[in-house]
Amino acid sequence: MDHPTQLPTSEVDVVIVGAGPAGLMSNLWLSTFKGLSVRIIDKRTATVYAGQADGLVGRTQEVFNSFGFEERVLKIAQPMAEFSFWEPDRNGQIFRSSRTADGPPNMSRFQGAVLHQGYIERFLKDAIKEREGPDVEYGMQPDLLQVDESMVEGDDSHPITLRIRHLSEQESAPSQFGHTIANGLFRSTNFSTSEEEDQAINTIAKAGTQEIIKCKYLLGCDGAHSWIRRQIGVNMEGDQTDFIWGVLDIHPLTDFPDIRSRCSIHSARSGSLMVVPRENELVRLYIQLEDLERNMDGRIDRSKITPEDILRAAQKIITPYTLQYDYCDWFTAYQIGQRVSTRYTKFDRVFILGDACHTHSPKAGQGMNVSLMDAYNLGWKIAQVLQHKAPRSILATYEAERRPVAQELIEFDRKWSSLFSGKLEPNDNQAEDGLLEEFKQTFEDAKLFVAGITVTYAPSVLVDKTSHQKNDHSTKVLSKTDLAKGIHLGMRIPSYRVLNQADARSWHLQDRLPSNGQWRLLIFAGSMIDLAQRERVLAFADYLLSPLSILNTYASEDIPLFDIITVHSGPRTEVELSHFPPPLRKMSEYNNVFVDDHSYLEPFGDAYKNYGVDSIRGCVVLIRPDQYVSWIGDLEDTDKLETFCRGCLRRLPSSSSL
Ligand SMILES: Cc1cc2nc3c(=O)[nH]c(=O)nc-3n(C[C@H](O)[C@H](O)[C@H](O)COP(=O)(O)OP(=O)(O)OC[C@H]3O[C@@H](n4cnc5c(N)ncnc54)[C@H](O)[C@@H]3O)c2cc1C
């Protein structure tokens, strides 16, 4: 191997290793911020794939909406409306025992849906292109990682050295294990455009060569066998279960009545099956495989499993109904491992995301969602640190916020998977009833968590709330949570309809929170027809215009760091836009002032009631660029707001003289 210094060397801000969901979401976030240099590499070069992850929960779709491509998802995805439970009767024959809603009602604008990972990666790539972000460089793999510890706290230092090897076509194209049907026995990437194919061919032309990239931050999005994780000496905690699951994506031919509804089927003697209807009239079957041949060492060679094996197992479970297919799109077989890594970062310079730091069974449809959300949590923080808008200390919140989410998911997955895979004892009706009842109850209890809506980040420099940790007096709480009982610190802000004061158009509030890197100052102005309240609002606006306000202290060279959104409690027709002084309203901008009032055409959002805000006195809410709530206070609490911002934002050199 060449010594690092003899190789072609370049410097960038961020290198992303791995272009699955976590890597692409990281790339998308970083591409949203101007002026950052980013490279994203992946070891694969391969043809279009199908299959892999399929479930998209409500929160993920809210995030897609904030990046502007949720409409594309809605056009193709199969919504998940209903879940049916099938179980054996006293004679061992399966029957539908109950049905329920497949998700929590009214918690997110977006219902859970199913769409294969290839589409999602395509949409992410298109959104990156729109923002002129970097293309994925395929057929490249790091083989040396060094971090210079003496440089890790330096503002503009490049403490990370990565040696990259360009792979040959043979090395980078995943084997399909001799199967003609696409399968997930190995991971492959998807090229959807000829440009990507050309680029892959160019990369292959460099096969065997090496280069050095020096970077400020390194994101290990390199999947469950993460090389980056191993290089930084981080272990996975947890265990591998003995259950082997087969997955079949097929166009089914069957008389089973619930084939277009998501359902679980527990058979009396042949294991269990989950049915997930998909886009394009496909159906995914998750099947517990039993009676598999083991090697001498007791392990099962998954590469020997065929779609026919998986179908046979499904047929046994679904009897007396019949099941065949006329087309198989993809299949895989996997063993459930429920693991989370001990750390998510080294020096807050090298980070691991997605499957690189947590693995679990895919039956709850969480793998891709949680991986995307890891990247959504971290991307804006790194960007703002690189732009000198935030101190490096905010980066510690990535592990603090995301690791508990993975731990909770793994706890849920352990329970859900073992109940799903649980053996029903012959003739033990009590045990059988108990297991199935617990299974159903677990499903009901987990609806909110699974939808990704209830994720709540702990107190930190980015979330101003009381710590529930014993003896943790580190955070001085400045927020007044009683002012907005429907808004929770550390949770994403829910969305309700409000009307634009200027043109009476009805908006979902979340549509005013695009992922563009801005913090939001959401001002609930209360009653603008109450003169005393109007004075309070004017005083707050005066503060914002003053030289030492947060707007002027944390001024930004590109788009303003704070986006100001005002919602008053109406009535709309008794209030004029001119009642709102700058900077609440800016001349020739008509998208900043909203009202909680009835629309001519759309349903009433009842926003003040739903947000739990007093319709006379209002309040102020500070929202992070990823839509999570940081701080809540009164219109007069400007000193508290400033104190909070001092902990998580940095003055730009140009604004320090103000
Ligand atoms: C075979 C398989 C089947 C799955 N089936 C399902 C399913 O049915 N349902 C479900 O919900 N989830 C499923 N998952 C899980 C889901 O796909 C993952 O949770 C999700 O893709 C995680 O995203 P990620 O970006 O973290 O990792 P991945 O999607 O695994 O992406 C990692 C990327 O890193 C690249 N890479 C790896 N090592 C290196 C390296 N050293 N250098 C450069 N590049 C590297 C890989 O080529 C890959 O493109 C499956 C995963 C696998 C691997």
Selecting among 21, 88, 277, 362, the annotated active-site residue is: 362
pLDDT, greater one: 205 or 168: 168
Selecting among 49, 119, 138, 286, the annotated active-site residue is: 286
Whether residue 501 is predicted with pLDDT greater than 60 in this model: the reply is yes
pLDDT tens digit string along 477-492?
789 999 999 999 999 9
Please compute the mean of the pLDDT values over residues 191-202 and round it to a whole number. 52
The pLDDT value recorded for residue 374 is 98
Residue nearest ligand 1's atom 51 by CA: 52
Q: Which of 15-19, 382-386, 415-419, 579-583 has the lowest mean pLDDT?
A: 415-419
Binding site membership of 368 for ligand 1 (Cβ less than 6 Å): yes
How would residue 588 be classed by pLDDT, with cut points 50, 70 and 90? confident
Q: Among the atoms of ligand 1, which is closest to the Cα of residue 42?
A: 44
pLDDT tens digit string along 108-127?
889 999 988 889 999 999 99
Residue 54: active-site member? yes
Give me the sheet containing 497-500, strands edge to edge.
506-508, 497-500, 593-595, 562-568, 519-526, 619-623, 629-633
Selecting among 13, 21, 44, 54, the annotated active-site residue is: 54
H or E element, residue 324: strand 323-341
Binding site membership of 332 for ligand 1 (Cβ less than 6 Å): yes
Whether residue 299 is predicted with pLDDT greater than 80 in this model: the reply is no
How would residue 188 be classed by pLDDT, with cut points 50, 70 and 90? very low
Whether residue 426 is predicted with pLDDT greater than 60 in this model: the reply is no
Residue nearest ligand 1's atom 27 by CA: 223
* Inter-residue contact 400 to 475 (CB < 8 Å): no
pLDDT, greater one: 49 or 416: 416
Binding site membership of 20 for ligand 1 (Cβ less than 6 Å): yes
The pLDDT value recorded for residue 250 is 96
Whether residue 48 is predicted with pLDDT greater than 60 in this model: the reply is no
The pLDDT value recorded for residue 291 is 73
Q: Which among 52, 143, 283 is the best mutation to test ligand 1's pocket, defined by most ligand atoms within 8 Å of the CB? A: 52
Whether residue 66 is predicted with pLDDT greater than 50 in this model: the reply is yes
CA dist list (Å): 187 to 118, 331, 340, 369: 12, 12, 20, 17
Binding site membership of 413 for ligand 1 (Cβ less than 6 Å): no
Ligand 1 center to residue 223 CA distance, Å?
5
Q: Among the atoms of ligand 1, which is closest to the Cα of residue 141?
A: 42
Whether residue 191 is predicted with pLDDT greater than 50 in this model: the reply is no
- Establish whether the linkage from the previous residue to 252 is cis, with ω within 30° of 0: no
Give dist(CA 286, CA 245) in Å, integer: 7
The pLDDT value recorded for residue 429 is 58
Give dist(CA 157, CA 151) in Å, integer: 6
Whether residue 652 is predicted with pLDDT greater than 90 in this model: the reply is no
Binding site membership of 23 for ligand 1 (Cβ less than 6 Å): yes
Give dist(CA 84, CA 100) in Å, integer: 6
Token output for 80: 């998940």
Whether residue 198 is predicted with pLDDT greater than 80 in this model: the reply is no
Q: Which of 31-35, 85-89, 424-428, 543-547 has the lowest mean pLDDT?
A: 424-428
Residue 278: active-site member? yes
Binding site membership of 187 for ligand 1 (Cβ less than 6 Å): yes
Residue ranges of domains in the chain, CATH in brackets: 4-78+112-236+341-397 (3.50.50.60), 481-655 (3.40.30.20)
Binding site membership of 54 for ligand 1 (Cβ less than 6 Å): yes
The pLDDT value recorded for residue 436 is 82
Write the Ramachandran bin of 588: left for phi over 0, alpha for psi from -120 to 50, otherwise beta. left
Give dist(CA 181, CA 657) in Å, integer: 65
Ligand 1 center to residue 326 CA distance, Å?
28
Token output for 285: 């079957």
How would residue 444 be classed by pLDDT, with cut points 50, 70 and 90? confident
Q: What percent of the chain is predicted at pLDDT more than 70?
A: 88
Binding site membership of 263 for ligand 1 (Cβ less than 6 Å): no
Rg of the chain, C-alpha, whole Å: 26
Residue 286: active-site member? yes
The pLDDT value recorded for residue 279 is 87
Measured N-to-C along each axis, helices 367-386 and 396-421 cross at an angle, to the nearest 10 degrees, of 180
Please compute the mean of the pLDDT values over residues 49-70 and round it to a whole number. 89
How would residue 187 be classed by pLDDT, with cut points 50, 70 and 90? very low
Q: Work out the mean pLDDT of the chain and round it to a whole number.
A: 89
Whether residue 300 is predicted with pLDDT greater than 90 in this model: the reply is no
The pLDDT value recorded for residue 242 is 67
Q: Which of 164-178, 377-391, 429-443 has the lowest mean pLDDT?
A: 164-178
Residue 362: active-site member? yes
Selecting among 59, 187, 229, 278, the annotated active-site residue is: 278
pLDDT tens digit string along 405-416?
999 999 888 888
Binding site membership of 159 for ligand 1 (Cβ less than 6 Å): no
Ligand 1 center to residue 506 CA distance, Å?
40
Q: Which among 40, 222, 247, 305 is the best mutation to test ligand 1's pocket, defined by most ligand atoms within 8 Å of the CB? A: 222
**How much is the ipTM here?**
0.95
The pLDDT value recorded for residue 556 is 76
Whether residue 539 is predicted with pLDDT greater than 50 in this model: the reply is yes
pLDDT tens digit string along 127-158?
999 999 999 999 999 999 999 999 999 989 99
